């Protein structure tokens, strides 16, 4: 077994409780849970992934907004056609 060393980490009571709850849910000791979390943390990768996600969300939102505008234009044109048809129908009733 490899030699081990101790690292002290200062956390609030609430943070400790959250860590304990998460460790228990993962069926891990708190030490193992914190070790795995620390090993998995990759700020550069996480930041790049987040930035990529933000860009995709913005692009999708722009596409959705354009599609909605196009849909509203179709509805407006349809409404004009309906109004014309109703006017023609009303004119025939009067005549």
The arithmetic mean of pLDDT across residues 14-42, rounded, is 95
Tokens for 27? 């069926």
Averaged pLDDT of the chain? 92
Q: How far apart are CA 69 and CA 91, in angstroms?
A: 33
Least confident of 14-18, 61-65, 87-91: 87-91
Residue 95, pLDDT > 70, answer: no
Q: How far apart are CA 27 and CA 20, in angstroms?
A: 10
Q: What is the reported pLDDT for 29?
A: 96
Q: How far apart are CA 14 and CA 58, in angstroms?
A: 35
pLDDT digits (tens, 9 = 90+) for 36-77: 999 988 878 778 888 899 999 999 999 999 999 999 999 999
Q: What is the reported pLDDT for 49?
A: 85
Residue 10, pLDDT > 80, answer: yes
Q: What is the reported pLDDT for 28?
A: 97
């Amino acid at each position: 077994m490899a030699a081990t060393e101790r690292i002290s980490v200062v956390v609030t009571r609430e943070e400790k409780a959250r860590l304990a709850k998460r460790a228990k849910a993962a069926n891990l000791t708190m030490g193992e849970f914190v070790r795995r979390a620390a090993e998995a943390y990759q700020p550069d990768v996480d930041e790049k992934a987040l930035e990529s996600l933000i860009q995709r969300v913005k692009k999708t939102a722009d596409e959705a907004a354009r599609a909605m505008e196009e849909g509203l234009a179709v509805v407006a044109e349809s409404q004009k056609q309906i109004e014309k048809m109703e006017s023609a129908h009303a004119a025939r009733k009067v005549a």
